[in-house]
Chain A
Amino acid sequence: MALFDAVLELADDHLVLGHRLSEWCGHAPMLEEDLALPNMALDLIGTARTLYDYAAQLEGEGRSEDDMAYLRGEREYRNLLLCERPNEDFAHTVLRQLYFAAFMKPYWEAALSSSDEVIAGVAGKAVKEMAYHIRHAGEWVIRLGDGTDESARRMKDAVEALHIYTGELFEEGAAEGIDALPSRAAIQPAWEATIDEIFGHALLSRPVVQYPQTGGRVGKHGEGLGHLLAEMQSVYRAHPGATW
C-alpha cells in the first residue's frame, strides 16, 4: 500500500492548493487574475482527480475519487502544510504557488520516465502546467518584489511567513523507497536554483530556516485545514450516498 499512500499525498497536495486558489475566484486584484487563478486551480484539481482515481484503483475497495476527497477528515489528509496555508494577500498567494510549482515541475520531469504508466501519464500533462505556473507566479513575485515600497514589504512578509514550510517539500514521506516515484530530496537543488533566479530579479533573498514546520504527511496540520475541509465537504456529507 506504500504506492497508494504516496499517490494520496500527491493528490491531497493538488486538491488543497487548488481549493485555496479557487477561493480567489471573483475577488482577485484584476480581471486578468480572476481568470488566471481559477485556471491554475483547474490544473491542480484536474491532477488531483486523476491521482485520487488512481489511488482508489490501487486500493481496490471500490472507493471513488469523491470518497477520497470528501470523506476523509483533517487527520487523514496528507497534504504539505505549504498547500493549506491561507491566501492572506496576493503576495502570499503567488509566492505559495511559485514554491509549489518550482518543486513540482522538476518532480514531474523526473516522473516522465517512471515505470508506472499512470504516473508517467500525469507527469506528461503536469510538466507543461507547472512550467506555466512558475512563469505566471514568478513574474508576479518579481513585479511585487521590485514594484512599490508596499509591494516589496508585502513580498518580504510573504517570504518570512511561507519559507518555513518549504523544507517539507523535500521529505520523502510515503514515497520512501518507491522506485516508480522520483526522490523528493533530489529535487532540492533544482528548486533552489529556480527560486534564487526569481528572487534575484525580485530583490528578495532566500532565508535560512532554523526551525522548519512539517507534519502534513502524518496528518498534523494547521488549524486552517479543518475549516477548508468542513466547507468543501459540507454538501457531500449532508447527503450520504447521493449522486451529484
Chain B
Amino acid sequence: MYSQGLIGADARTDETPEFLEAFQNRIDAEEKIEPNDAMPEGYRRTLVRQIGQHAHSEIVGMLPEGNWITRAPSLRRKAALLAKVQDEGGHGLYLYAAAETLGVSREEMTEELLDGRAKYSSIFNYPTLSWADIGTIGWLVDGAAIMNQIPLCRCSYGPYARAMIRVCKEESFHQRQGYEIVMTLAQGTPDQKAMAQDSLNRWWWPSLMMFGPHDGDSVHGDQSMAWKIKRFSNDELRQKFIDATVPQAEYLGLTIPDPDLKWNEEKGGYDHGPIDWDEFWRVVKGHGPMARDRIKARKKAWDDGAWVREAALAHAEKRKARKLVAE
C-alpha cells in the first residue's frame, strides 16, 4: 500500500532536446518504456525513487499491521491478517524487482531506507492502537492507495505498470476485507462500535494526507505527469477518495471527523475542512509518532539477520567449490 506524495525526487535531466523530444513522443504515443530502452536520466531517477519508496512503504507497512497478528480476536481474522501482511511483503518483493530493472540493487535500496536517505509512506508512522485499526487501515489506507495505484497500472514504465496490476488486485481485496472488519465492529457491541469510531477519528486525516500536498504546493507533479509516471493530480485523487468513502462511512453509521464536510451539488463532490499541513510536513520530515520505532524495527531485523544471510552465501560458495572439485 502506498499513495502519492513522492518526496524529494530530482527530475533534472541533461540530454539533448532531440533525445528528450523523441522520448516524449514515445510517451505521448502511450508506448511502454522497457528496461533496456534509452531513457532520460531524470526519468530513471524519478522512477527509482518512486518505486523504491513504494517498495519501502510495503515493507514498513508490515509493522503496524503485524502489531496485531498475535492479538487478532479470532482464528479466522488471525489467518486473514497474516495472509494480508504476507501480501504486503510480496508487493515489496515485486517492487524491488521492478526497481532493480533500472540498475539499482535491493541491498542498496534497503541501506537507503535504514540510514534515512530513502522515504516511505508517512502513514505508517502512526501507531495501531486497537484491533479496529486493522479494519480501518484496510478500508481507508488501502482504499487511498488504490486510488493512486489504479492509474499506475498505466504508468509509462512497463515493469512498474505490470507489477501494479497484480498489486491492485490484492489491494482491492484488502480494502474490502478491511471494510468488512469495520462493518462487523460497527454492527457489534457498543464497545466495538466505539472502537471503530475512535479508529476512524484517528486515521481519517492522515489518510487524506496520503495524497500529498495541494497541487499548487507539489513540486514534482508536472514532469511526472508529462512522463506519464503519474496520471492524476494529488487533489483530484483526494477528491475521488473522499467522494467514494463518505457514503461508506454513512452506511456503517460512523461519523467522518470533519464538521465542515458537506455535499457540493455544483461540483458533484464533497467539500472538506482544512487539512493540517503542519502535521503533514512534520510527519513527512520524519517526526511522526512511530517514525523512529519503525526504522529501529527494520534495522534490528536487518542486523539480527546478517549472520543468516552471510551463512547462506558462505554455504552457496562451499557448494559451488565442491561441485567444481567433483567435476
Chain A contacts to B: CB under 8 angstroms:
15, 19, 22-23, 25-35, 38-39, 41-42, 45-46, 48-49, 52, 65-66, 69-70, 89-90, 142-144, 146-148, 150-151, 154, 231-232, 234-236, 239, 241-244
Inter-chain contacts of A26 with B (CB < 8 A): 62-63, 66, 85, 89, 297, 301
Flag if A148 contacts B314 (CB, 8 Å).
yes
Q: How far is the CA of A148 from the CA of B86 in the complex (A)?
A: 29
Q: Looking at A15, A35, A38, which has the most chain B CB atoms within 10 Å of its CB?
A: A38
Q: How far is the CB of B300 from chain A (nearest CB, A)?
A: 7
A242 pairs with B66, CB closer than 8 A:
no
Contacts of B312 in A (CB 8 A): 143, 147
Q: Are B305 and A29 in contact (CB under 8 A)?
A: yes
B309 within 8 A of A: yes
Sample of 10 further A-B pairs with CB below 8 A, known A33-B305, A146-B315: A23-B70, A31-B59, A31-B93, A31-B106, A70-B74, A90-B308, A150-B310, A232-B71, A239-B192, A244-B188
Give every chain A residue within 8 A of B79 (Cβ-Cβ).
42, 45-46, 49
Q: Are A144 and B308 closer than 8 Å at their CB atoms?
A: yes
Q: Which of B64-84 contact A (CB under 8 A)?
A: 66, 69-79, 82-83
* CA A30 to CA B309, docked complex, whole Å: 8
Q: Mark B182-221, 1 if CB is under 8 A from A, else 0.
A: 0010001101100000000000000000000000000000
Q: What would be 13 A-B contacts, judged by CB atoms less than 8 Å apart?
A: A25-B82, A26-B85, A28-B305, A30-B309, A34-B89, A35-B86, A38-B83, A45-B79, A46-B79, A143-B312, A148-B311, A239-B192, A244-B76
User: Which residues of chain A have C-beta atoms less than 8 A from B83's C-beta?
Assistant: 38, 42
A41 proximity list for chain B (CB < 8 A): 82
Which residue of the partner chain, among B86, B306, B315, contacts A142 with CB atoms under 8 Å?
B315
CB proximity of A197 to chain B, nearest CB, Å: 17
B306: which A residues are within 8 A, CB to CB?
A: 29
Task: Give the contacts of B84-108 with A (CB-CB under 8 A).
Answer: 85-86, 89-90, 92-93, 96, 106
Q: In the complex, what residue of chain B is closest to A150 when comparing beta carbons?
A: B307
Nearest residue, chain A, Cβ from B78: A45
Flag whether B304 is at the interface (Cβ < 8 A): yes
* Chain A neighbourhood of B131, CB < 8 A: 235, 244
Residues of A contacting B315 in the complex (Cβ-Cβ under 8 angstroms):
142-144, 146-147
A239 touching B304 by the CB < 8 A rule?
Answer: no
**CB < 8 Å: which of B62, B63, B106, B189 contacts A239?**
B189
Q: How far is the CA of A239 from the CA of B189 in the complex (A)?
A: 9
Q: Are B86 and A25 in contact (CB under 8 A)?
A: yes
What is the CA–CA distance of A237 and B75 in the complex, to the nearest angstrom?
A: 14
B94: shortest Cβ distance to chain A, in Å? 11
Q: Which residues of A contact B305 (CB under 8 A)?
A: 28-30, 33, 90
Distance of A239 Cα from B184 Cα, bound (Å)? 14
A83→B191 CA distance, assembly (Å): 34
Nearest CB to that of A153 among chain B residues? B307
- A64 CB to closest chain B CB (Å) equals 9
| Residue of B73, B307, B309, B311 most packed against chain A (CB within 10 A) | B311
The answer to whether A242 and B82 have CB atoms under 8 Å apart is no
Given contacts A27-B300, A232-B71, contact A151 B311 (CB under 8 A): yes
Q: Are B74 and A236 in contact (CB under 8 A)?
A: yes
On chain A, the residues within 8 Å of B85 by CB distance are 25-26, 38
Rounded to whole angstroms, the CA-CA distance of A34 and B91 in the bound complex is 12
Question: Across the interface, which residues of B come within 8 angstroms of A146, CB to CB?
Answer: 315, 318
Distance of A89 Cα from B306 Cα, bound (Å): 12
CB-nearest residue of chain B to A49: B75
Using known A-B contacts A34-B89, A142-B315, A147-B311, determine if residue A236 contacts B82 with beta carbons closer than 8 Å.
no
Contact B297 A150 (CB under 8 A): no
For A48, the chain B residues whose CB sits under 8 A away are 75
A243 to B184, CA, bound (A): 7
Given A22-B78, A151-B308, A151-B311, answer yes or no on A27-B297 (Cβ-Cβ < 8 Å). yes
User: Which residues of the other chain, B, contact A23 by a CB distance below 8 angstroms?
Assistant: 69-70
A19 to B106, CA, bound (A): 29
A243 to B306, CA, bound (A): 42
CB of B311 to closest CB in A, whole Å = 3
Return the 3 tightest CB-CB contacts between A and B, nearest first.
A29-B305, A147-B311, A151-B311
A42 to B86, CA, bound (A): 10
